[in-house]
């Protein structure tokens, strides 16, 4: 009887370890294939969070949204590129894109207009989007 219990525990532990390893090693997924819940300009989205953060959190956190705007700054760190889209307010829209998801021909610079699709994670100083992809890039001449 004790051997059966021990054998069952060992099997459960092995299943848990296998599941954990598969979960950790799962490749990064972006929001490219997901449907969009809403589309905003950067200023509209920022204003919605600034006016009523709790309501905006309920409506948009965890959902994939599309945001259009102009790049005010970019920062590269640990395989990710953080793009800040300008807004009418003090903050911006912080879009996190895996460097691997950015095409080799896409070079972002300040003043570029683009449409970004990503999952909203909430509002700190900026509204934050993760797992982003660039749907359209318009570089100024």
Residue 32 falls inside a structural domain: no
CATH code at position 110: 2.40.50.140
Residue 134 falls inside a structural domain: yes
pLDDT reported for residue 10 = 85
Q: Compute the average pLDDT of residues 11-18.
A: 86
pLDDT reported for residue 84 = 92
Residue 31 falls inside a structural domain: no
Residue 120 falls inside a structural domain: yes
Q: Compute the average pLDDT of residues 52-67.
A: 93
β partners of residue 137: 114
The model's pTM = 0.75
pLDDT above 60: residue 50: yes
Q: Compute the average pLDDT of residues 54-71.
A: 93
pLDDT reported for residue 5 = 84
Residue 13 falls inside a structural domain: no
Residue 5 falls inside a structural domain: no
Total domain count, the chain: 1
Residue 134 near residue 102, CB atoms below 8 Å: yes
Residue 117 falls inside a structural domain: yes
What is the residue range of 62's domain?
Answer: 38-138
């Amino acid at each position: 009887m004790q051997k059966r219990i021990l054998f069952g525990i060992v099997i459960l532990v092995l299943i848990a370890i296998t599941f954990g390893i598969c979960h950790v090693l799962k490749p990064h997924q972006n929001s490219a294939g997901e449907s969009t819940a809403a589309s905003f300009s950067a200023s509209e989205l920022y204003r919605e969070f600034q006016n009523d953060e709790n309501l905006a959190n309920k409506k948009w956190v965890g959902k994939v949204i599309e945001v259009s705007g102009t790049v005010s700054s970019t920062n590269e760190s640990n395989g990710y590129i953080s793009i800040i889209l300008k807004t009418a307010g003090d903050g911006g829209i912080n879009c996190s894109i895996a460097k691997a998801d950015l095409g080799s021909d896409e070079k972002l610079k300040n003043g570029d207009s683009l449409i970004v699709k990503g999952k909203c994670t909430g509002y700190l100083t900026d509204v934050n989007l993760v797992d982003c992809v660039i749907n359209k890039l318009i570089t100024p001449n």
